[in-house]
Amino acid sequence: MHAVIAIDGPSGAGKGTVARAVAAALGYRHVDTGAMYRAVAWRALQLGLDLDDEEAVLRVSREAAFELDGSRVSIDGADVSAAIRTAEIDRAVTPVARQARVRAELVARQRAMADDGPVVMEGRDIGTVVFPDAPVKIYLDALPEERARRRANDPAHSASATQALEEIAQAMARRDDHDRTRQASPLSVAPDALVIDTTRLSVAEVVERVMAAVGARGLVAAPLAVHERRRP
């Protein structure tokens, strides 16, 4: 297994932005595991499945071919990067993420990604379940009002264009509540995680703290691939 930097926390805490910047700084792969749960929900809806039918959703996740590149995601050849960030998928992903066997399938795939090279992986259970031995675990949080405001301003999320801030805040609170109280791998803070409240911090300040934690664990930037090396 290669180096893993686990970044967990509720939605709107800044995981995506921070994970992307840290991955770029280190030359690590950035994996957004929320996009995998969303893509499974999207595919299950497309197939007309009942999202509470665990067998059916499990089959979709087992058979799915994912291509993940930061916030871009394809499932079974369809680029769903935009289609999975809608209010409909926000709702559909909750029953999918609740199912223990679906989680086990996606967790196995996430673990396999760290066999290919070092990763910055963001989600809800990365430091607690997927990689409990990750050398760096970060838990990002922020006040609910600030998280809702960020989601409303997120151009990648089409809900921002159609929903009022109050509606976004309510839907987010409901989803967070499901994530924190579900039986299978609920969102929780790993005992050895560095908790950062991002409410009043700039992205650069958060990234600086994460990079300090990375440096403290002796992790360094991945060597550039041969084709990326500059000629003298």
Q: Interface with ligand DC by CB under 6 A: which residues? A: 11, 33-34, 37-38, 93-94, 97, 123-125, 175, 179
Cβ nearer to ligand DC, comparing 141 with 179: 179
Distance CA 9, CA 159 (A): 20
CB of 53 to ligand DC, least distance (A): 18
CB of 181 to ligand DC, least distance (A): 12
CB of 91 to ligand DC, least distance (A): 10
Which DSSP symbol is given to 36? H
The continuous run of DSSP H or E covering 175 comes out as helix 165-181
Residue that the structure tokens 């991945």 belong to: 222
Cβ nearer to ligand DC, comparing 95 with 118: 95
Cβ nearer to ligand DC, comparing 28 with 37: 37
CB of 89 to ligand DC, least distance (A): 8
Cβ nearer to ligand DC, comparing 7 with 215: 7
Distance CA 12, CA 164 (A): 16
All residues at 6 or more sequence positions from 156 whose CB lies less than 8 Å from its CB, including other chains: 71, 81, 82, 85
The total of other beta-carbon atoms located within 10 Å of residue 179's CB is 20
| Residue 187 near residue 125, CB atoms below 8 Å | yes
Cβ nearer to ligand DC, comparing 1 with 216: 1
- Please provide residue 96's backbone torsions phi and psi, each rounded to the nearest 5 degrees: -70, -45
